[in-house]
Structures are given as C-alpha cells and as structure tokens.
C-alpha cells in the first residue's frame, strides 16, 4: 500500500503541495488529477523519491520511500529523460540494470516490451532519431522493464496517437491484472477516468476531492438535475437567478443544475415563477469531469481557467 500523510512541499516560499493525504491499495489504479500547475508533478516526484517532502510522510508497504526502495518503483516523468545518442537497446538495458535486475533478465524483459510496443525494428537506432511518439513509448518501457510493484505515470499519453493511446491503456490493464499498483497523473480527465479505481483531485496543491470514482459520482448524483420547461426563455432566466442552485448548462428551454448543500428540489420548485411550466425533470448523474469542474468553480476558478 502507498500512503501519503499530510505531505507538504514548497519552493522558494511558494507552496506547491499543501497537507496532501491519500492512500492506494495494492493492485489499484489511482489518478492524481487537476489543472496545469496544480501540484501533480511535484506530488509524483515525491512519491518516486526524487524530491523530499518538507513535512509529512510517504510510505510504501509501511516503509518510508527512499533510495533503497527504488527497485520497487517505476517512474515515467512528464518531461523526457532519455540519452539521445544511445541506442534504443542500450538505453533500456541501462535503466533496467540501474534498477538492480541481472543482465539476462533485463535482456529478456527489454526484448519483450520492445515487441509489445512495436519498437523491435528500432532496437539499434539512436534515441534522437525516433519520433516523439516512439520516444514516449521508449520511456514508458524504461519505467516498467524492471517489473516494479508501483508504477508512476506522469502525463503518459503525451505525444501518443490514438492507436498508441489504446495500446497503452491495454498495457495498463494488463499490468493491473498482474497486481501492479499504478498511479496516473493527467490534466485530461476523459483519458484517465476509465482507468482509475480511485482518485484525488488537487488544485493549488490542496485536495479538493478524493475517493473511489463510483462513490464520488454517487455522492454527487442526488443534487444534479436536468429540467425542461415551456419555451418561455425569460422565465428560465428568472429560475436561473435562484440562489440555491448552480447552473451548468442553459439553453432556450433546458437547464442543467446542481442543488447547493442543504437544499431540496421541492424547495427550489416552490420558488419557481408561475409562468414556468415544467415538461421534464429528472436527476441526471454527472460525469466525473462535470464534478471536477464544479469543484474548481467552488474553489474560485472561472470557467475560462478550468481546462480539464
């Protein structure tokens, strides 16, 4: 199990991560999500042992994360850390041996992963001659070739085309089926959501929301509504001004909204102008993206800034 306990990290007096806590069970796929600049990469670099927290603890199976646990951890950084003049094979062997596995096992693993990612034909080429997508696949292999227990993937889909995104999703599923714990970070919610059992959503280094994806969606479902009314657009504007709701989508005769805490749908309906005739009203389970955008909105982020 991986656990973060009130972890903090600052750079030149600016807080990048603030009192962050969460845990991941063995074999789970966990998302660290948030907009650009939220503190995701700093969090992952601390989990990988590259940065040391200013405060708090990070443990893997009860042990503090340190250099002696590096053989258990595979880390894909957001920015490429490859040696451009080395060949593909030498590069992967170097990283695998650096993590402590013996040469025969390293060779077997490297060959197998090159085949899986369709890179075998490039085995003797220098890294700098590869396309950006193939360099990304190479770096993914470097993170997993030593068969780590914890796999940390920071923006893993960067530079990949749709076919290779599907391949990586398949590989992540296979690794999970083998009991690997996988930590995925991205600001693109739609790509990561199908992979994750649970997540934490951070903004300005703070967790705004954390838990299992299914539980999060169920928790918010009761307050999300979809309403259709008659064609009186002015009346809809009057309804939209009611303080007990947050609007999410509005058209001529349709409104999607959430109830604010402690407010019932009956209370809102009782305050509707008499000119409004409701033709349809139903609870509408939100998407994870809608929930996270709502969290950003409640944290003072404008719709223009909230890019997920």
| Predicted confidence (pLDDT) at residue 72 exceeds the cutoff of 50 | yes
CATH of 2-212, one of 3.40.50.150, 3.90.420.10, 1.10.3720.10, 3.40.50.300: 3.40.50.300
Whole-structure pTM value: 0.87
* pLDDT tens string 254-280: 888 888 888 888 988 888 877 788 889
> 216, 294 in Cβ contact below 8 A?
no
pLDDT score, position 104: 96
pLDDT score, position 197: 96
- For the chain, where do the domains classified as CATH 3.30.70 start and end? 222-298
- For the chain, where do the domains classified as CATH 3.40.50.300 start and end? 2-212
128, 123, 137: which is closest to 90 by C-alpha? 123
* pLDDT tens string 8-34: 999 998 999 999 999 999 999 999 999
The CA distance from 140 to 171, in Å, is 10
CATH level 2 (architecture), domain 222-298: 2-Layer Sandwich (3.30)
pLDDT score, position 19: 96
């Amino acid at each position: 199990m991986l656990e973060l306990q009130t972890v903090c990290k600052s750079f030149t007096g600016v807080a990048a991560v603030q009192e962050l806590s969460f845990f991941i069970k063995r074999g789970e796929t966990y998302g660290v999500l948030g907009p650009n600049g939220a503190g995701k990469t700093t969090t992952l670099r601390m989990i990988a042992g590259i940065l040391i927290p200013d405060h708090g603890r990070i443990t893997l199976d009860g042990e503090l994360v340190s250099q002696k646990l590096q053989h258990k951890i595979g880390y894909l950084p957001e920015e490429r850390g490859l040696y451009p003049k080395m060949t593909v094979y030498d590069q992967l062997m170097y990283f695998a041996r650096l993590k402590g596995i013996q040469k025969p096992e390293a060779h077997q693993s490297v060959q197998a992963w090159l085949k899986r990612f369709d890179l075998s034909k490039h085995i003797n080429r220098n890294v700098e001659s590869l396309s950006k997508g193939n360099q990304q696949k190479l770096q993914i292999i470097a993170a997993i070739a030593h068969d780590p227990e914890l796999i940390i993937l920071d923006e893993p889909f960067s530079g990949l085309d749709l076919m290779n995104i599907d391949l990586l999703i398949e590989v992540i599923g296979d690794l999970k089926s083998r009991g690997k714990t996988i930590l995925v970070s991205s600001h693109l919610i739609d790509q990561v959501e199908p992979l994750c059992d649970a997540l934490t959503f951070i903004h300005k280094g703070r967790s705004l929301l954390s838990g299992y994806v299914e539980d999060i969606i169920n928790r918010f479902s009761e307050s999300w509504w979809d309403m259709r009314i008659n064609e009186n657009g002015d009346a809809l504007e009057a309804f939209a001004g009611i303080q007990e709701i947050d609007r999410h989508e509005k058209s001529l005769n349709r409104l999607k909204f959430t109830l604010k805490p402690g407010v019932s749908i009956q209370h809102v309906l009782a305050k509707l102008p008499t000119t409004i005739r409701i033709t349809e009203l139903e609870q509408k389970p939100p998407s994870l993206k809608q929930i996270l955008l709502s969290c950003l909105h409640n944290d003072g982020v404008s719709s223009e800034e909230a890019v997920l």
